[in-house]
Amino acid sequence: MSEVSISLPNPREVPKNFKPDQFKIYDVLNNIDRLQDGDILKISASFFIISIGGKKIAIDPALIGRSFKKSESGKLIPPSGGIASHSVKLNAERYTHTMIEAPPDENSNADETNTSRVGRILADRIDAVLISHLDADHYDFELIRTMMETNENLEVFGPLSWKTEIAKHHSLESMGEKGEKPTKNYMPDKLFKRLKTLSGKTADPEKNIGLRYNNLNLDKAELKSWIKDDNQPGRYREITNAKISAIEIPHTGGLPAEYVQGFVIENENNRIMVIPDSALSPEAVEHIKKNVTDSNNNKLTQLIVSTGTLNPETFYGLPHKLADYIRDNIEESIAHSAYLPLVAAAYTDGETDVNLSHAGFYYRSSSNKAYFRTRYPQPKDHQYPDAKVWLEEFRDYIDETMEEMKTDIKSLGPLTSSVEKSTLIRDFPIRRKFALKLIKWLKQKGVPDSVLGKIHNPEGNTIIKKVASAS
């Protein structure tokens, strides 16, 4: 079967509707208050809020960015060089765009930034924060710290090594015991102790390798509440509102040792899986297969899956041919996959809608589904009116590829490891082969409209409801 080819639009013909998201804080609060059990609120890019068991969980909250360059003014990039780990941004004047706008109010002071105002106002609506990894389009510690200071009950979970990363950029309160004055960015002990680690990766005992981190970490967490006990007047009992499991996601990013976590968040009525920035890797496929149903055969009710940029723009400003080569030959194998959402759709039989994160280039909107065709070619010979037929064929091909390459796959080392321990260069040919085999199948077969109907890229500040067939 010949490979289907598509021509990308002329960049000058692309409609000028790629404007960075920006929402008023009280419009966001209104949507948070409207969330029902199992709903998801997409804020922008990788920032989502999940409602489950009466709890609101913020996933990867990040707010600020700056223009990549004048020729692509609608494209934003997040802070670099560890700035996201500060409580107060350095060179903040460079980062002129914020995802949520919060004007000064009666509780504001002269030094309060927009990010701090957003955190202060959001804090009482949020019960927990989950941070998948430490790229600045996935977390902003100024926002998180303000939320923690405002809401003493807020639980915050970051990935392996993240407390050491925070400590690198702050003077800890305990450092001032000998009389030296901490900087204005100092970290109070009571706040630092509240930072928790949630990781699907076993802690490495060799603490001198890569970023340092505590030897103890959780791979599961529970959000709980106290409610009145009807059987014992005047007494309360503890209930579990939601269980959170961490899964390790292969993705190389900007930090020397980047530990990336995905999440499965569940209660008796909902199972929600979040896959942050991820390569088209055997590990990501296995995570999806393993979590489609739980031990009681409860299916996923919601899916959030990252994707490589789908916009008809060039990659990092490169010519189209070179950009496409980098996307398919490098990005797909070790970083961000545009095709992983199709894998998720295949293993859920299209019964659970796949909602995209990271679909623009950082904070650039690209919710128009017409742009899916810049990465997903139309079928040449078969229209597949029934999505299930195509999804079953793709799932069978993935399983065949996993079986065919099982010896190589078993030899793979983790992508999320310290520089000294990294097997990235050694393993790259295997990872590239795996990704390219799936991509070749997709480009030969094409992706029918009936399948793309299962994949959604909601606009920012939009409530996502679970589909009835997965309930």
Asked whether residue 206 is assigned to any structural domain, the reply reads: no
In the structure encoding, which two tokens stand for residue 430, read together?
């295997």
Closest CA to 341 of 305, 375, 395, 366: 305
Which amino acid would we find at residue 217? N
Residues 127 and 58: their CA atoms lie apart, in Å, by 8
Asked whether residue 466 is assigned to any structural domain, the reply reads: yes
pLDDT tens, position by position, 187-212:
999 999 999 988 877 655 444 343 33
Task: Provide the pLDDT for residue 76.
Answer: 80
Which amino acid would we find at residue 260? V
**What is the model's pTM?**
0.90
Task: Provide the pLDDT for residue 208.
Answer: 38
Residue 116 belongs to what domain range?
18-174+194-200+219-470
Task: Provide the pLDDT for residue 206.
Answer: 44
Task: Provide the pLDDT for residue 209.
Answer: 40
* Positions in the chain whose pLDDT score sits under 70: 1-18, 69-74, 175-181, 202-217, 253-258, 312-317, 361-368, 370, 382-384, 415-422, 468-471
Task: Provide the pLDDT for residue 70.
Answer: 57
Task: Name the strands in the sheet holding 47-52, side by side, starting at the edge strand that comes first in the sequence.
Answer: 195-197, 155-158, 128-130, 55-59, 47-52, 40-44, 462-464
Task: Provide the pLDDT for residue 7.
Answer: 42
Number of domains in the chain: 1
Task: Provide the pLDDT for residue 125.
Answer: 97
Residues 282 and 286: their CA atoms lie apart, in Å, by 6
Asked whether residue 179 is assigned to any structural domain, the reply reads: no
Closest CA to 97 of 114, 110, 117, 112: 114
Q: Any idea what the CATH number is for the domain that residue 313 is in?
A: 3.60.15.10
Asked whether residue 1 is assigned to any structural domain, the reply reads: no
Asked whether residue 7 is assigned to any structural domain, the reply reads: no
Asked whether residue 429 is assigned to any structural domain, the reply reads: yes
Task: Provide the pLDDT for residue 176.
Answer: 62
Asked whether residue 210 is assigned to any structural domain, the reply reads: no
Residues 114 and 112: their CA atoms lie apart, in Å, by 7
Other C-beta atoms lying within 10 Å of the C-beta of residue 437: 17
Spell out the residues 6+ positions from residue 293 whose beta carbon is closer than 8 angstroms to its own: 299, 300
Asked whether residue 147 is assigned to any structural domain, the reply reads: yes
